[in-house]
Chains A and B, each alone.
Chain A
Amino acid sequence: MANGENQNPNPNPIEATPGAAARTITLKTADGEIFEVEEAVAMEFGTVKSFFEDDAVSATKPMPLPNVSGSALSRVITYCRRSLEIRSMIPPATSEDATAAEAVQGEGDLEAEKAAKQERKEFEAEFLKDESNEDVKELILAANYLNIKELLDFLCRSVALRIQNKSVEYARKFFGIEGDYTPEEEAQIRQEYAWAFEGVDED
């Protein structure tokens, strides 16, 4: 098994020693819960980021989040924290818009990238394991309101995957949707898109 990998000299900013001067940002949810979040994590929230970019003075007062409940925010923070950790496992990769300084990618990075991918896969599978549809919906709304693209995409992609290649009956059951077409209407749709209903899993 691999051991003795390259030491990562950059300490994870999230795991700063307690009591160290890591700036925190205070957030207040719709149901009155107060959260103190590390700045790096809070800046993952697009709405928080632009709020503080516009008005640096308000850094002292708790930022109100009237559309997010305490339980949802707690889950969101967990996700963003973990996501940041995983992302810090690899140095920034070359991308279309990378500057020259970011474009260095030595051999060790490919290993790190693979490891990070695997960690993300496991973490994301675990994250949604016990969530009900109601929870997922709340998270989607929160991620949308807070403008966290990565989390929103992950949640929506996961929901999509649950119904991909499945029959209509399965999707209805999974979402708890009551169909409201008349039998004639439904038959007409099925006929029009006949090929789309061919051969999908019945469960």
Chain B
Amino acid sequence: MNGQRRETEFDERDRTESESERAENCISSARRNARDVISTLPDSLLCHILSFLPTPDAIRTSILSSRWRPLWTLVPILYFNHQDIPQITHPLEDIVSSIFTLRNADAGPDPAPIHKLRIFLFKCCVPTHLETWVAASIRLCLQELELNLQFSKTSELPRSIFFSTTLAVLKLNGDILLNPPPSSALLPSLKIMKLESVSYANRDSLSTLLAACPFLRDLTLKLSPYGLRNYMDKNAGMAGVNAIILIPTLKRLHFHWPIVCWPYKVHINTPALEYFHFTGVLNEDFVLEKLPNVVESVVEVEKWRRDEDYAKKVWDFMGQFCNVISMELITKTAEILSHASNRDDIPMFHNLSSLSFSFFCFIEWHAIQVLLHRAPKLQTLVVKPWQNNMQRVIRTDGYLKEPLTVPECLSSHLTTFHYNQFSGDGVEMEFVRQLLMVAGVLKTMRITVTSTLDSEVKLQVHEKLSEYQRSSQSCQIAFD
């Protein structure tokens, strides 16, 4: 950061004075001016302050005094978000380009590195610009790239990215096309990658990119229905992006593939995985290898078919991470599972300690009970609010027949139960009543009522709940 700095063009007065001398003068004049304490901080700390500002704000500080002039160019972060400056009339892509130009011009022959580049644009046309920005940043040791382009012309991600040896974080969202070169791409430092609603050039683009990231730790893949609108291979017939994820170092995977119709191949082999969030369908070409180290999972299987075979598939899918400690089943997952809950070969979840799910029409309870029979150590059970804003169906308590055998975990392990968005209707009350009857070691039952509940009714519900017979002497009911 120190070293020779080229004189600024505006340095009319002191052509002979080098910039470091000027900085020194400014610091001592700041010291003389007792009020200006901030400028006495060393460059590195002033730059640290500027690193928390969006780049336009950092640039503005160059006018504070000559001491501050070059500081913004020393900050290794360029962050530009159109939302910060809605009043700007200049075309946004031109502004970003001018930032790069000015940074190079003001910084002299040895510009400071760019570690983070974060650009959020909308309604822009950036294809040619993007190549320049990315190439310039990679030359300056780019470690983190975040690009979010909305309602813009689709830009292909510059090839230079696929060969960066310093890039550790890559986050892409929106109108960006991925077309990685087959076999030669390599991103040895990449640890975190997040691809949201981006486009792929062909069926294998994603797999090619993943194969280039052998040391990835954290991967988020969110495909949108528009992800294939820029398919270059017009002869591909039915479009579909394959996801072949074979990464031995991967610890976190967030896989969001809500497409039903288009055929695609998925193969996940990530034995080190610890966190698995899955949203999608389990079609014919879906292969999930064993995930023995997953401790936390969120499962949102979409309802593709409503039959026993599909339900079996989902049970087997979950069995691949049967060592899980904390699991959440979202929306229709529990309902799907209930279509095949009479099997004998449902996997055991020996370590499952915390389970969350939602009730839509209470058919889910059947599947949950089956799961509870397979989770002997369960301690925490949570009923989460239903995800959609759909009106709940009229429920009957037909699904609440008391079981012949109570799952062991309910009677001897369950210590915490939390029901969210409790409405106090007949079915829910009956459910809670049954639970209180069998939960032998329950310590806390927490009921959170829906905000629409009348306070009169709320009181009645609370009273009624308190009167229910409790199997556990130490059970406290928390009501809010």
Residues of B contacting A172 with CB < 8 Å?
Answer: 64
Bound together, the chains give a CA A172 to CA B66 distance in angstroms of 13
Residues of A contacting B310 with CB < 8 Å?
Answer: none
Given A4-B444, A199-B87, decide whether A192 and B217 contact each other with a Cβ distance below 8 A: no
Measured CB to CB, the closest approach of chain B to A105, in angstroms, equals 6
Residues of B contacting A49 with CB < 8 Å?
Answer: none
Is the Cβ of B52 less than 8 Å from the Cβ of A160?
yes
Is the Cβ of B252 less than 8 Å from the Cβ of A96?
yes
Is the Cβ of A100 less than 8 Å from the Cβ of B57?
no
Measured CB to CB, the closest approach of chain A to B464, in angstroms, equals 18
Q: Is A118 an interface residue (CB 8 A)?
A: no
Is the Cβ of A106 less than 8 Å from the Cβ of B56?
no
Q: Is B40 an interface residue (CB 8 A)?
A: yes
Given A4-B446, A156-B48, A198-B88, decide whether A177 and B217 contact each other with a Cβ distance below 8 A: no
Residues of B contacting A195 with CB < 8 Å?
Answer: 56, 88-90, 95, 98
Is the Cβ of A159 less than 8 Å from the Cβ of B54?
no
| A176: nearest chain-B partner, CB-CB | B35
Q: Is B167 an interface residue (CB 8 A)?
A: no
Is the Cβ of B49 less than 8 Å from the Cβ of A156?
yes
Given A4-B446, A6-B444, decide whether A179 and B275 contact each other with a Cβ distance below 8 A: no
Is the Cβ of A103 less than 8 Å from the Cβ of B87?
no
Q: Is B406 an interface residue (CB 8 A)?
A: no
Q: Quick check: which of B25-33, B132-140, B261-269, B337-345 contacts chain A, the rest being far away? A: B25-33
Q: Most A CB atoms within 10 A — which of B35, B191, B418?
A: B35
Is the Cβ of B41 less than 8 Å from the Cβ of A140?
yes
Measured CB to CB, the closest approach of chain B to A89, in angstroms, equals 17
Is the Cβ of A156 less than 8 Å from the Cβ of B45?
yes
> Please, what's the 1-or-0 string for A155-168, where 1 marks a CB less than 8 Å from any CB in chain B?
01101110111001
Chain B contact residues, majority secondary structure = mixed
| Interfacial residues, chain A to chain B (CB-CB below 8 A) | 1-6, 94, 96-98, 100, 103-108, 133-134, 137, 140-141, 144, 152-153, 156-157, 159-161, 163-165, 168, 171-172, 175-182, 184-186, 188-190, 192-200
Partner of B37, one of A107, A176, A196, A199: A176
- 6 tightest CB-CB pairs across the interface, nearest first? A176-B35, A4-B478, A199-B87, A160-B52, A106-B354, A107-B382
Residues of B contacting A199 with CB < 8 Å?
Answer: 85, 87-88
Is the Cβ of B275 less than 8 Å from the Cβ of A180?
no
| Interfacial residues, chain B to chain A (CB-CB below 8 A) | 10, 12-13, 26, 29-30, 33-41, 45, 48-54, 56-57, 59-66, 68-69, 84-85, 87-90, 95, 98, 102, 191-192, 217-218, 251-252, 274-275, 293, 295-296, 325-326, 353-354, 356, 380, 382, 416, 418, 444, 446, 476-478, 480
Partner of B57, one of A1, A103, A140, A163: A163
Given A94-B252, A175-B36, decide whether A164 and B478 contact each other with a Cβ distance below 8 A: no
Given A1-B480, A104-B296, A161-B52, decide whether A193 and B60 contact each other with a Cβ distance below 8 A: yes
Is the Cβ of A177 less than 8 Å from the Cβ of B64?
yes
Give 10 new A-B contacts, CB below 8 A, not counting A97-B217, A133-B37.
A140-B41, A152-B48, A160-B49, A163-B53, A163-B61, A171-B64, A176-B37, A177-B65, A179-B65, A195-B56
Is the Cβ of B57 less than 8 Å from the Cβ of A157?
no
Chain A contact residues, majority secondary structure = helix
Bound together, the chains give a CA A177 to CA B63 distance in angstroms of 11
| B35: nearest chain-A partner, CB-CB | A176
Partner of B326, one of A98, A104, A140, A185: A104
Partner of B45, one of A3, A107, A141: A141
Bound together, the chains give a CA A177 to CA B30 distance in angstroms of 7
Residues of B contacting A133 with CB < 8 Å?
Answer: 35, 37-38
A-B contact count (CB 8 A): 172
Is the Cβ of A181 less than 8 Å from the Cβ of B274?
no
Bound together, the chains give a CA A160 to CA B54 distance in angstroms of 10
Residues of B contacting A184 with CB < 8 Å?
Answer: 10
Residues of A contacting B192 with CB < 8 Å?
Answer: 96
Measured CB to CB, the closest approach of chain A to B41, in angstroms, equals 6
Given A4-B446, A108-B380, decide whether A177 and B53 contact each other with a Cβ distance below 8 A: no
Is the Cβ of A134 less than 8 Å from the Cβ of B37?
yes
Is the Cβ of B35 less than 8 Å from the Cβ of A198?
no
Residues of A contacting B35 with CB < 8 Å?
Answer: 133, 176
Partner of B296, one of A6, A94, A137, A163: A94
Q: List 19 A-B contacts (CB under 8 A).
A: A4-B444, A4-B446, A5-B444, A94-B274, A96-B251, A96-B252, A100-B293, A103-B274, A103-B296, A105-B296, A156-B51, A157-B52, A159-B38, A171-B64, A176-B34, A186-B63, A195-B98, A196-B60, A197-B60
Residues of B contacting A186 with CB < 8 Å?
Answer: 63
Residues of B contacting A200 with CB < 8 Å?
Answer: 60
Bound together, the chains give a CA A159 to CA B38 distance in angstroms of 10
Given A178-B65, A181-B66, decide whether A106 and B45 contact each other with a Cβ distance below 8 A: no
Is the Cβ of A196 less than 8 Å from the Cβ of B56?
yes
| A133: nearest chain-B partner, CB-CB | B37
Bound together, the chains give a CA A106 to CA B41 distance in angstroms of 44
Is the Cβ of A181 less than 8 Å from the Cβ of B65?
yes
Is the Cβ of A179 less than 8 Å from the Cβ of B326?
no
Partner of B274, one of A98, A161, A192, A193: A98
Given A4-B446, A160-B53, A199-B87, decide whether A193 and B36 contact each other with a Cβ distance below 8 A: no
Measured CB to CB, the closest approach of chain A to B83, in angstroms, equals 12
Bound together, the chains give a CA A48 to CA B418 distance in angstroms of 44
Residues of A contacting B66 with CB < 8 Å?
Answer: 180-181
